[in-house]
């Protein structure tokens, strides 16, 4: 049974039409047959968010090697995301190759990403979604703490290994 509020583990990822730095997308449909990691960040041009995006980009080939795409998001507009990508390229010599969702708040609210008591900023959330569109892992971090991208890659690989070996654990 699918949860009608914030999505939970085992739910199908909700169908969302989004605007990104790489055009319009429909999730999870446009990722059909691939795993994907949707990760939110509080705001463009902030130090922790910038280091996280660079770290994700540095591992992008490793994610793609296991049939997994990356997609970022925050409650910022496409123009801001593009300028931030340009700043990262100009100052850190890193090209961000994955799309970033520009959200007006609808996506963040649907996914339960608005940080309580901190305006419209989103938490640092990670949704790992399998190739069938099912949410397999959800990580939530406060705005103040950055994430470990190696751990996120390890989690994707671990879930894929579990599926391949058909490992299921009873509660």
pLDDT digits (tens, 9 = 90+) for 92-132: 999 999 999 998 888 888 888 876 776 667 778 999 999 99
In a domain, residue 118? The reply is yes
In a domain, residue 2? The reply is no
Number of domains within the chain: 1
Phi, psi torsion values for 3, nearest 5 degrees: -70, 140
In a domain, residue 91? The reply is yes
Q: Supply the Cα-derived Rg of the chain in whole angstroms.
A: 15
In a domain, residue 20? The reply is yes
Catalytic residue among 27, 38, 49, 113: 49
The per-residue pLDDT for range 130-170, each reduced to its tens digit, is: 999 999 999 988 777 888 999 999 999 999 999 988 866 65
In a domain, residue 69? The reply is yes
In a domain, residue 49? The reply is yes
In a domain, residue 171? The reply is no
- Domain assignment of residue 102, given as a range: 16-164
Residue 87: CB atoms within 10 A of its CB come to 13
Answer yes or no: 68 catalytic: no
Prediction pTM value: 0.90
The per-residue pLDDT for range 25-63, each reduced to its tens digit, is: 999 999 999 999 999 887 888 878 888 999 999 999 999
Q: What is the CATH number of the domain that holds 67?
A: 3.40.30.10
């Amino acid at each position: 049974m699918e949860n009608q509020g914030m999505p939970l583990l085992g739910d199908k990822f909700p169908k969302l039409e989004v605007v990104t730095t790489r055009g319009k997308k429909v999730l999870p449909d446009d990722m059909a047959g691939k795993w994907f990691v949707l990760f939110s960040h509080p705001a463009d041009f902030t130090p922790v968010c910038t280091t996280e995006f660079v770290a994700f980009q540095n591992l992008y080939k490793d994610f793609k090697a296991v049939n997994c795409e990356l997609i970022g998001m925050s409650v910022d507009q496409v123009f801001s995301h593009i300028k931030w990508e340009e700043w990262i390229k100009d100052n850190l010599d890193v090209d961000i190759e994955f799309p970033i969702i520009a959200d007006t708040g609808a996506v963040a609210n649907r996914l339960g990403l608005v940080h309580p008591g901190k305006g419209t900023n989103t938490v640092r959330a990670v949704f790992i979604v399998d190739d069938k569109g099912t949410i397999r892992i959800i990580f939530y971090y406060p705005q103040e703490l950055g994430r470990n991208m190696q751990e996120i890659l390890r989690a994707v690989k671990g879930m894929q290994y579990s599926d391949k070996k058909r490992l299921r654990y009873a509660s």
